[in-house]
Amino acid sequence: MAEGGSAEDGASQDGPTKDHAAGPVTAAGGQAVARNLRLIPVHEIVSGSLVWLPILVLFTRARFDLDGALLLSGIYYLAVVVLEVPSGWMSDRLGRVPTLRLAAVCWIAAHLCFLVGDDRFWYIAAGQAFLAGGFASLSGTDVTLHYDSLEALDLAEEYRDRQGRLRSLGLVATATSSVFGGLIGWWLDLRAVFVVSLVLAIVQFGVTLRLVEPGSTHRAEMFHGQIRSCISYLADRYLGWIFFYGILMVTLEHVAFELMQPWLTEVLDRSADEVGATPLLSGAAFAVTSLVGAVAARSADPLARRFGAVATLIGLAGLSAVIVSSMALWVSAPVLVLFAFRSAQGAAAPVLIGSVVAPRVEQRHRATLLSLNSLAGRLGYGLILLAVSDVAADEVRRVLGWFSMISWMMVAVLVVTGVVVSRTDGAAAAPIVR
């Protein structure tokens, strides 16, 4: 999940009210914070350039079969579970910028592990753990630094529009890098992709060295108190439903992605060892999905205003379920038309979730709350991956069938609970940002 959270400020714990501890920003401090607004898009481009995206599962499946690839994915998600909340608390306690620097360092270590590990399982598992550490540190912190910087400059009301545009920019970077990564994997070697990824991670670290913390006077509580304070926000029925949606969203937005690359090898009638043009097609597919996601991110606000946030979020969940069901039913290139919308939920939903959370949660609690949300979602999905890997038997469509059934069960639960929230809580129909 890529949402927002905040570093440090102090207010009462009376509930989700607007913060009031950011404090005045001096002229020099204002210039430094304004520089953040110029650097954050650069950071979004570099961190969104996931060159390895179209080849990672091809890389792991070719070496360890489908059950090994799923096990490695499960290790990744469970590593995020371990690191998600501590990294969110670190962001709230120590600051956004140190946490973003840690994310870049983790990715540098991850790509080094992939490069030297090759077919040594535990090296690749370590790479997955470092990759997880990078995403855990990035999740919530990047978006919250954006919100905090705007808030320090009295521009918080521009957040939703700016964040939608920023998210679109990152997805365009993902699209471009996916094509590039697919080309490198096809033309040279799958491992060569990690060389480029390593260079990008180093550049990412360099950008974070230029970022500054927005002015603030109070920091997060000690760990256990912070967790208790964050959980207390869920007494707000609407915020509680958004939190629940965020948990299920992790599975719904990832099930199609997880088996996209081995599914493509079957579409192309290739074995796991003979990937052929799969990196090219995979890169092109992820590029298209990222571009569609960029449009979805920009459309999140208009859709929510037209249909309501709850209905929009449920619709996005249903779209994800339709995609994975289609992949389970048909191993056919025309299904790629549907797969193009795979990033719609992952792009649009976090914009809406962040817009709900930021104004309802104190600044010093935002990153931790969103990390708790992401942790719960990744824990559930990691356990699903580990369970399914036990019965996978290297059969892609069989696993997709399980994922399809799980997805529709989740959509049904969201529909029922969403109707209840919409009928019993007037906040659900209220404007997303107040």
Of the candidates 376, 63, 66, which has an alpha carbon nearest to the alpha carbon of residue 245? 376
pLDDT band at 216 (very low <50, low <70, confident <90, very high): low
Q: Which of the pair, 264 or 21, is modelled with greater confidence? A: 264
Task: Please report the pLDDT score of residue 431 as a whole number.
Answer: 37
Whole-angstrom distance, CA of residue 367 vs CA of residue 87:
9
- Strand locations in 240-321 (E): none
Task: Please report the pLDDT score of residue 432 as a whole number.
Answer: 35
Q: pLDDT digits over 260-295, tens only? A: 767 777 776 655 444 455 566 666 776 787 788 888
Q: With pLDDT > 90 as the criterion, what percentage of the chain qualifies?
A: 20
Task: Please report the pLDDT score of residue 16 as a whole number.
Answer: 31
Task: Please report the pLDDT score of residue 241 as a whole number.
Answer: 92
Q: How many CB atoms lie within 10 A of CB 122?
A: 9
User: Do 264 and 278 touch, CB atoms closer than 8 A?
Assistant: yes
Kindly state the greatest CA–CA separation across the chain: 63
Whole-angstrom distance, CA of residue 154 vs CA of residue 162:
14
Whole-angstrom distance, CA of residue 236 vs CA of residue 258:
33
Which residues, in sequence order, are bridge partners of residue 4? 140
Out of 58-67, 137-146, 297-306, 308-317, give the one with best mean pLDDT: 308-317
Least confident of 119-123, 236-240, 276-280, 402-406: 276-280
The answer to whether residue 224 scores a pLDDT higher than 50 is yes
The answer to whether residue 425 scores a pLDDT higher than 60 is no
Give the H or E element holding residue 305. Answer: helix 278-307
User: Do 36 and 29 touch, CB atoms closer than 8 A?
Assistant: no
Give 383: exposed, middle or buried? Use CB within 10 Å, 0-12, 13-18, 19+.
middle
Distance in angstroms between the alpha carbons of the first and the last residue of the chain: 23
Percent helix, strand, coil in the chain, to 5, is 80, 0, 20
Least confident of 7-11, 104-108, 174-178, 306-310: 7-11
pLDDT band at 397 (very low <50, low <70, confident <90, very high): confident
Task: Please report the pLDDT score of residue 380 as a whole number.
Answer: 83
Whole-angstrom distance, CA of residue 151 vs CA of residue 145:
10
Q: pLDDT digits over 236-269, tens only? A: 888 889 999 988 998 888 877 777 767 777 776 6
Of the candidates 323, 320, 317, 355, which has an alpha carbon nearest to the alpha carbon of residue 336? 323
Whole-angstrom distance, CA of residue 213 vs CA of residue 114:
32
Residues comprising the chain, all counted: 434
Task: Please report the pLDDT score of residue 433 as a whole number.
Answer: 34
- Per-residue pLDDT averaged across 289-318, rounded? 86
User: Which two three-digit tokens encode residue 161?
Assistant: 């529009």
Q: Which of the pair, 74 or 243, is modelled with greater confidence? A: 243
Tell me the CATH architecture of domain 30-429: Up-down Bundle (1.20)
Those residues with Cβ within 8 angstroms of residue 276's Cβ, 6 or more apart along the chain or in another chain: 265, 268, 270
CA 255 to mean position of chain CA atoms:
14
Q: pLDDT digits over 24-45, tens only? A: 455 556 788 889 999 999 999 9
User: Which two three-digit tokens encode residue 48?
Assistant: 């969104």
Whole-angstrom distance, CA of residue 192 vs CA of residue 196:
7
Please give the single-letter amino acid code of residue 339: F
Whole-angstrom distance, CA of residue 242 vs CA of residue 153:
28
